Amino acid sequence: MELMYPFVLIVGILFLIILIFVNLKKKSTYENGKKVANTQFVKEMPYYQEVMKKYKKLTSTIKILCIISMVMSLLLLARPCTIDASENPQYSRDIILCMDVSDSVNELNEELVNNLKKVVGSLKGERFGISIFNTSSVLLVPLTDDYDYIIETLDNLQKNFAARNSFLKKGTISGNDNVYYATEYIQAGTLVGNEIRGSSIIGDGLATAITNFGDLSEERTRIIIFSTDNELYGKELITLEEAGKMCKDREITVFGIAPSTILGNNKIIMKNAVEETGGIYYTEGDNNVSDIVKNIEQKGKSLIKGKKETKMVDKPELPFAILLISTTGLFVLNKKVNL
């Protein structure tokens, strides 16, 4: 057991010793009443001697209890505590969700973000980020372990994907504030340079996600969950094959998933790029989104040492119990002495 303020106990005990020493040196004086002569006869009586022995025992016990009470009070003021050193384990795994937010991938993305909320809720120390792209990429959530914030963002994405899907099926998305908000939330920043470069720039979107991992020299397991239909409608700076090789060179595993409408050649290119990284390619349907979640959980993650935390935990129970018993004894014995 440690003391948070040990000087309080030291100073208090020194003062108590001085007080006891001064009290012992004090001469017996009569402060009140009158002296009585010829008391020797009374003092020699067996009853008187028995009462005096009892009195001395009780007063001595009271003095001891007083000392104990004062020492325990000083001990409580010094705050007895224990030092609790703990280390929170963390997992060295980074996951980035990289989504193509063109309209043709909306339904897949809605299902994907809904399933990933369960994954995020089970994370312990791992970092998670969200990147979306069309012509250009937008980092919605940088790598973080603030899971409440991540789930809130996934909720917003799911709500807005659902709104877009609902109105796209009806053949109109104009004149409705909810759909307008959904479109702006998802598309804002992802169509920069659209007039010149086109849209659905797949390779650039995946390559940009790589840069969101930060320092790649740190030993961590890195995963990209990549959703797209690989339908290119513009001029890319980096092809999907090149982006896949970049991931492989940096030991980043890509789990790719495409809608069931993906075209044959696009599927082959995407599948090869994903599998080159050691990841798995999926097509929407047959619970493949759930399979991605299971494979991510099975993907190795290294346990790293967390930050050491030192806490001082108050432990007043024992001195408080002794103080309570001693003060109770004082009241009981004081009453007996008065009798």
Question: 248 vs 37, which has greater pLDDT?
Answer: 248
| pTM, rounded to two decimals | 0.62
Give the pLDDT score at 242. Answer: 95
Three-class SS of residue 33?
coil
What's the rounded Cα separation, in Å, for the pair 321 and 319? 5
Residues 6 or more apart in contact with residue 202 via CB below 8 angstroms: 100, 228, 230, 231, 232, 236, 240, 243, 270
> How far apart are alpha carbons 38 and 36 in whole angstroms?
7
Task: Read off the pLDDT of residues 235-257 as tens digits, 9 standing for 90 and up.
Answer: 889 999 999 999 999 999 999 99
Per-residue pLDDT tens over the stretch 308-319: 667 778 888 888
Question: Which carries the bigger pLDDT value, residue 23 or residue 199?
Answer: 199
The two tokens of residue 182 are 């959904």
DSSP letter, residue 322? H
| Gyration radius of the chain over CA positions | 39
Averaged pLDDT, 132-150: 93
pLDDT tens per residue across span 60-79: 888 888 888 888 888 888 88
In angstroms, rounded to a whole number, what is the distance separating the alpha carbons of residues 95 and 116?
Answer: 11
Q: Starting at the edge strand that comes first in sequence, how are the strands of the sheet with 252-258 ordered? A: 137-144, 127-133, 93-100, 221-227, 252-258, 281-283
Residues 190/134, Cβ–Cβ less than 8 Å = yes
Short-list 138, 114, 232, 115, CA closest to 191: 138
